[in-house]
Structure 1
């Protein structure tokens, strides 16, 4: 796979999504996959103001770029994310500087960055190594596919610190895993191994340590080979119908899925199958 640094550089206040990242978030392209790496290994990739700003800009940039077909979210230095930077939280939020202006302009920015108030239209795959706790486990719940190294750890530690998991976990977690497991994770604040996270369905696959990113990129490549309009419609339908009664959900599914059959890509997929060749999809 060809991996390159994202080249577009945009200022934080020019109204356009940035592709360049910051010191706390690296942004790279691997073929049609955008790889976002939380990059504060000295702090186990705790969420910082510049990281959150860059992360939200990267979500927007991925959706705005039709050559990006999937996104992989991972962490540097053998950790995924240890949650919010509690030192910054205790100090009252972002320090003075360019980041404060972004948060002032959009008080919801941190929730969008953490995928609480924003859902990318492209599939998002989490590649987890090491700690993925507190806010890390909350961001995880906003991803679509989750792959973890065997030594990864998970947990919602907020109640142990007198805090509340405001990243959406009291709503999302009971909808994603059995309620009894969600309640235990939320109320005990205890750590979970990758194997246990796999058993309860918090992650989909556990792989040998050090291979989560490779496995995520392999999964992304499988997604990238498919018709992008179909992929995005499938993702949209899954989320749009999740909480609807079945009859209403099926009507919504038809509204989202039926137009896919009228696309040039649908005709290309059928033609390529008949001609026994790989399809060439053009998002049309």
Structure 2
């Protein structure tokens, strides 16, 4: 199991929990954090016993974005990770889910600050839970910067364009309730409860047929920009083979026998 000094990895049954662990900097992105994140996504993809991933932050915050001191040229923690970045210049974008989509569902558990790069990473997750005191926003324009982690493309596809543009062009912060109202997140829970709720959702995902879950996730993203006719054709191509699996026989059989199903990814 991987991890770095700024990213901890833990197994909770069939769920891989990735925790951004730089609380003294509100989990601002560092080289060790980015490398750890990317390795975590790869681990989840490679291990068939992992059925879901929960992404969260330590110390009461999710992620406050890029380390601005580093961006200003004042150095960044984890010089030993620079070789990884040289080998794969795209690694940071993969870590932030801009250029990589894990095949397993990713559930974000947000407390505290989830701003700038934090909100950009959030847009690469599939299901989003936040504590009621969480804060969201894309503050790049306030610093004369550009939210280049994908937000000018993704945000308008995930929430209404007027809300996306207001968030992008004002740089203001949004409360968890406001983020819920515009559709940026799906659940708001009492402060400190985001991880528990995310793990609860993960358990529901884990109880489902893993081949079906992965095919459904893939179909949703594959068809997002297709016409309805193209999307329906693609859905059949992705979904029909699922009915021929052993798991597809096990699900109805377990239901008829009034017992929990035992799925084998077969």
| Shorter-chain TM band | over 0.9
Q: Gapped runs of 5+ residues in structure 1?
A: 1-18
Q: Would the alpha carbon gap of residues 96 and 115 (structure 1) be closer, same or farther in structure 2, given more than 3 Å must change?
A: closer
The answer to whether the aligner puts 1:104 opposite 2:86 as a matched pair is: yes
CA distance in 2, matches of 1:129, 1:67: 28
Shift of 1:273: 1.3
**Misfit runs of 4+, over 2 Å:** 92-98
SS in 1 for 2:188: strand
> Is residue 73–residue 126 contact of structure 1 (8 Å, CA) maintained in 2?
yes
Q: 1:151 aligns with which of 133, 136, 139?
A: 133
SS in 2 for 1:256: helix
SS in 1 for 2:147: coil
The answer to whether the aligner puts 1:142 opposite 2:124 as a matched pair is: yes
Shift of 1:98: 2.2
Q: 1:248 aligns with which of 213, 230, 236?
A: 230
CA distance in 2, matches of 1:173, 1:93: 30
Shift of 1:162: 0.7
Shift of 1:248: 0.2
SS in 2 for 1:148: strand
Q: 2:28 aligns with which of 46, 58, 83?
A: 46
> Is residue 94–residue 100 contact of structure 1 (8 Å, CA) maintained in 2?
no
Write out aligned runs for 1:30-41 (5 A).
Answer: 30-41=12-23
CA distance in 2, matches of 1:94, 1:281: 45
CA RMSD across the alignment: 1.1
Write out aligned runs for 1:47-66 (5 A).
Answer: 47-66=29-48
The answer to whether the aligner puts 1:195 opposite 2:166 as a matched pair is: no
Write out aligned runs for 1:182-261 (5 A).
Answer: 182-261=164-243
SS in 2 for 1:247: helix
Shift of 1:84: 0.4
SS in 2 for 1:59: helix
CA distance in 1, matches of 2:167, 2:68: 21
Map of 2:65 onto structure 1: 83
> Is residue 7–residue 19 contact of structure 2 (8 Å, CA) maintained in 1?
yes
Aligned residue pairs total: 266
Write out aligned runs for 1:164-175 (5 A).
Answer: 164-175=146-157
TM-score, normalised on structure 2?
0.98
TM-score, normalised on structure 1?
0.92
**Post-superposition CA distance 1:30-74 (Å, at most 9, x none):** 010000000000000000001000100110001100110000000
SS in 2 for 1:206: strand
SS in 2 for 1:236: helix
SS in 2 for 1:74: strand
Shift of 1:277: 1.1
Q: Gapped runs of 5+ residues in structure 2?
A: none
CA distance in 1, matches of 2:79, 2:22: 19
CA distance in 1, matches of 2:2, 2:9: 6
